[in-house]
C-alpha cells in the first residue's frame, strides 16, 4: 500500500482554503470543521489514485487542487495529513462550508485566511439563497424535462405530430398512467444526490471516495427496480430509499440494470458495458455540477467515474462529464456559452473526446444559423440522434436559444431522438441558469414526486452551505444522520 502526504487544505467542512497566490499555505487541524487529521483516500477497498508526490485528496475531502491524481479507484494509497497544506491558485475551490463556490452568482466568496486552524463560513445569506434556487432549479428542471419528454419517447418527429398535432407536444401529457410522470432518469438523478450527500457525511469518519458512495446509491436504486417496496429492516437505506413512489420501473435502460446488478465498482480502465453509448448516464449527472466548491476538472472526473458504472463508451461517459461541467459553471453564475467553452477546454485532454467536442461545437454554431425549430434540432444529430453526444448537443442548443423554460423544453423534446434525456438535460441547464422561479408553475404542480425532489434539493444545498453545523468528527446531528447514514 502506498503512503503519500496530503497537500489538501482543511477548509470549512469541505472546501480547501485558498489565498489567491500561486500557492497558499494553511494549517490543517484535526477536527477542524470536519477535516480529520488522517484522511483515508478511499473506501470499500477502492482508494483514490495518488500518482505523484502529493495526495489527490485534501483534508476535507475534495481532491487537492493541482494534484496529479484523480478521484478514481485505480490504485491503493492512504493519504496522511501532516498539518501543512498547499493548494493551486489555478483551481482550488474557495474556502467555505462544504464547498463554498469561488465565483459567480451563487458564489461570491472572499477566500479563507491562509493561516489559522479553522476557515470561516463564507456563505452570505444572498449567496445561500441564490445557490439554493439554482440547485432547486437544476433538479426540478431536470425532472420537468424528463416528464415532458416521457410521453413521446421512441416516437419520430412525424409520430409526435400525428399524436399531438402539428405543433407537437406543448404540455405535459399522460405517461405511465398519469401526467407529470418521471422516468428512470429522474430516479437515478435523485439517488446521485443522495450518494453525494452521504459522501460528505461519511468523510467525518476519515474516509473519502465519492464514486463508492454514489455507486452504493445506485445499488439502492437498483433495489427499487426489484423489490415491491421499501425494506424497513434496512436502517442504512436512509429516507430516499423509503419513498414508495420510487419503486416503479420507468423505462430503465439495459446498461443501468446490468451495470448496477452487483456491487463491483467499475473504473475507467475496466468500465461496465463498454459499448453502451446512450444518454442515460449523462441524464443523471446534473448533481455533480452542483458541487460548486470543486475545480471544474474534478467535477468532470467524478462524473466520468460514476458514469462508467453503467456506460463504458467514451462518448457516453465524456458527455456525462461535459454536462456536469456546464451545470457547474451555470450554478456558479457563468453564462451558458462560457460554461460550454470551459467544458470544451477540459474535454480536449481526454482520449475519445472528439465526438462529444464536435457535438458541442455543432450546438454552439447552430445558434447563429437557421431560426430555432425542429429542423434545426434535427441537424444537430451525427447519427440516429440517440447517442449521448447528440442528446447533449440538442439540450445545449435548446437552452442557448430558449426564450424561456417552456420554449426551450418544448424544442428539446419535439424531435426523434431520446426525448426524455434531451428534456432532462435541457431542463437541468435552464434550471441551473435561471433558478427555480423560472420554471412553469403548471408543470411543477403536476410533477410526480415534486415534494421529494424539493426536499432533496434543499438537503443538498444545506449540506453544501451548512455542513459543519450538521455533522463532523465531534458533532453529530441525529436527524441528519438518520436521513443520510454513514453506512
CB burial readout 164-193, b (16+ within 10 A) else e: beeebbeebbebbeebbbbbbbbbbbbbbb
- Of 60, 88, 121, which one is at a domain's C-terminal end? 121
Print pLDDT tens along the chain (487 aa): 333 333 333 333 333 333 333 333 333 333 333 333 333 333 333 333 333 333 334 433 344 433 334 454 333 232 333 333 333 333 333 333 344 444 444 443 333 322 232 333 468 999 999 999 999 999 999 999 999 999 999 999 999 999 999 999 999 999 999 999 999 999 999 999 999 999 999 998 888 999 999 999 999 999 999 999 888 777 789 999 999 999 999 999 999 999 999 999 999 999 999 999 999 999 999 999 999 999 999 999 999 999 999 999 999 999 999 999 999 999 999 999 999 999 999 999 999 999 999 999 999 999 999 899 999 999 999 877 789 999 999 999 999 999 999 999 999 999 999 999 999 999 999 999 999 999 999 999 999 999 999 999 999 999 999 999 999 888 889 999 999 998 7
Identify the CA nearest to 96 among candidates 126, 121, 116.
Answer: 121
The verdict on 91 and 203 lying in the same domain is no
The verdict on 146 and 104 lying in the same domain is no
Q: By residue range, what is the domain housing residue 11?
A: 1-121
Whether 175 maps to a domain, the answer reads yes
Q: Are 143 and 427 in contact (CB under 8 A)?
A: yes
The verdict on 450 and 342 lying in the same domain is yes
Burial class of residue 221 (count of CB atoms within 10 Å of its CB; 0-12, 13-18, 19+): buried
Whether 430 maps to a domain, the answer reads yes
The verdict on 104 and 137 lying in the same domain is no
- Of 121, 149, 182, which one is at a domain's C-terminal end? 121
> Which residue's C-alpha cell is 482508494?
47
Whether 487 maps to a domain, the answer reads no
The verdict on 98 and 246 lying in the same domain is no
Helices (H), 206-253: 210-226
The three grid cell numbers given for residue 226, joined into one nine-digit string: 426489484
The verdict on 171 and 68 lying in the same domain is no
* Number of C-beta neighbours around residue 289 at 10 A: 29
How many helices, marked H, and strands, marked E, lie in the chain? 17, 11
- C-alpha dihedral, 303 to 216 to 261 to 144, nearest 10°: -60
Q: Which residues pair with 476 in a beta bridge?
A: 471
Distances in whole angstroms, Cα of residue 476 to Cα of each of 354, 461, 472: 47, 18, 6
Whether 309 maps to a domain, the answer reads yes
The verdict on 161 and 110 lying in the same domain is no
The verdict on 232 and 363 lying in the same domain is yes
- Of 74, 92, 121, which one is at a domain's C-terminal end? 121
Report the C-alpha gap between 101 and 115 in whole angstroms.
20
Whether 482 maps to a domain, the answer reads no
The verdict on 144 and 108 lying in the same domain is no
Report the C-alpha gap between 427 and 412 in whole angstroms.
9
- Enclosing H/E stretch for 283: helix 280-283
The verdict on 98 and 145 lying in the same domain is no
Whether 72 maps to a domain, the answer reads yes
The verdict on 24 and 75 lying in the same domain is yes
Whether 467 maps to a domain, the answer reads no
In terms of DSSP bridges, do strands 174-175 and 178-179 run parallel, antiparallel, or are they unpaired?
Answer: antiparallel
CB burial readout 386-407, b (16+ within 10 A) else e: bbbbbbbbbbbbbbbbbeebbe
CATH number at residue 323: 1.10.4080.10
Whether 480 maps to a domain, the answer reads no
The verdict on 337 and 397 lying in the same domain is yes
Report the C-alpha gap between 250 and 246 in whole angstroms.
9
Q: How many structural domains is the chain composed of?
A: 2
Through-space distance between the first and last CA atoms of the chain, rounded to whole angstroms: 24
Amino acid at each position: 500500500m502506498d503512503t503519500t502526504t496530503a497537500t489538501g487544505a482543511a477548509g470549512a467542512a469541505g472546501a480547501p482554503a485558498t489565498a489567491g497566490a500561486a500557492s497558499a499555505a494553511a494549517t490543517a487541524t484535526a477536527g477542524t470543521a470536519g477535516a480529520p487529521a488522517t484522511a483515508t483516500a478511499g473506501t470499500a477497498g477502492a482508494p483514490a489514485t495518488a500518482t505523484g508526490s502529493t495526495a489527490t485528496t485534501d483534508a476535507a475531502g475534495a481532491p487537492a487542487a493541482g494534484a496529479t491524481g484523480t478521484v478514481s479507484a485505480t490504485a491503493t494509497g492512504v493519504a496522511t495529513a501532516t498539518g501543512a497544506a498547499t493548494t493551486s491558485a489555478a483551481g482550488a475551490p474557495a474556502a467555505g462550508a462544504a464547498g463554498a463556490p469561488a465565483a459567480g452568482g451563487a458564489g461570491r466568496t472572499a477566500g479563507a485566511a491562509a493561516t489559522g486552524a479553522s476557515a470561516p463560513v463564507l456563505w452570505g445569506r444572498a449567496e445561500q439563497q441564490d445557490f439554493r434556487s439554482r440547485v432547486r432549479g437544476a433538479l426540478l428542471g431536470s425532472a420537468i424535462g424528463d416528464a415532458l419528454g416521457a410521453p413521446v419517447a421512441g416516437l419520430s418527429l412525424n409520430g409526435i405530430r400525428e399524436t399531438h398535432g402539428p405543433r407537437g407536444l406543448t404540455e405535459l401529457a399522460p405517461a405511465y398512467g398519469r401526467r407529470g410522470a418521471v422516468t428512470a432518469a429522474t430516479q437515478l438523478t435523485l439517488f446521485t444526490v443522495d450518494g453525494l450527500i452521504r459522501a460528505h457525511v461519511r468523510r467525518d469518519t476519515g474516509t473519502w471516495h465519492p464514486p463508492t458512495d454514489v455507486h452504493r446509491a445506485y445499488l439502492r436504486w437498483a433495489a427499487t427496480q426489484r423489490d415491491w417496496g421499501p425494506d424497513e429492516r434496512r436502517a442504512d437505506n436512509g429516507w430516499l430509499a423509503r419513498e414508495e413512489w420510487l419503486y416503479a420501473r420507468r423505462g430503465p435502460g439495459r446498461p443501468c440494470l446490468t451495470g448496477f446488478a452487483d456491487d463491483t465498482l467499475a473504473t475507467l480502465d475496466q468500465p461496465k458495458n463498454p459499448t453502451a453509448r446512450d444518454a442515460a448516464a449523462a441524464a443523471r449527472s446534473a448533481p455533480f455540477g452542483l458541487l460548486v466548491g470543486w475545480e471544474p476538472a474534478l467535477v468532470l472526473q467524478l462524473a466520468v467515474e460514476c458514469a462508467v458504472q453503467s456506460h463504458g463508451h467514451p462518448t457516453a461517459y465524456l458527455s456525462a462529464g461535459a454536462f456536469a461541467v456546464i451545470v457547474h459553471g451555470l450554478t456558479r453564475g457563468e453564462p451558458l456559452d462560457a460554461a460550454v467553452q470551459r467544458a470544451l477546454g477540459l474535454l480536449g485532454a481526454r482520449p475519445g473526446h472528439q465526438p462529444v467536442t464536435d457535438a458541442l461545437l455543432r450546438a454552439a454554431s447552430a445558434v447563429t444559423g437557421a431560426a430555432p425549430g425542429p429542423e434545426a434540432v434535427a441537424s444537430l444529430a451525427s447519427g440516429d440522434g440517440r447517442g449521448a453526444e447528440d442528446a447533449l448537443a440538442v439540450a445545449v442548443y435548446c437552452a442557448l436559444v430558449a426564450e424561456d423554460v417552456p420554449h426551450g423544453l418544448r424544442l428539446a423534446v419535439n424531435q426523434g431522438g431520446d426525448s426524455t434525456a434531451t428534456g432532462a438535460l435541457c431542463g437541468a441547464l435552464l434550471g441551473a441558469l435561471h433558478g427555480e422561479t423560472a420554471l412553469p408553475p403548471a408543470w411543477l404542480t403536476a410533477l410526480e414526486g415534486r415534494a421529494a425532489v424539493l426536499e432533496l434539493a434543499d438537503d443538498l444545498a444545506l449540506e453544501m452551505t451548512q455542513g459543519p453545523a450538521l455533522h463532523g468528527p465531534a458533532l453529530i446531528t441525529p436527524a441528519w444522520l438518520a436521513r443520510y447514514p454513514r453506512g
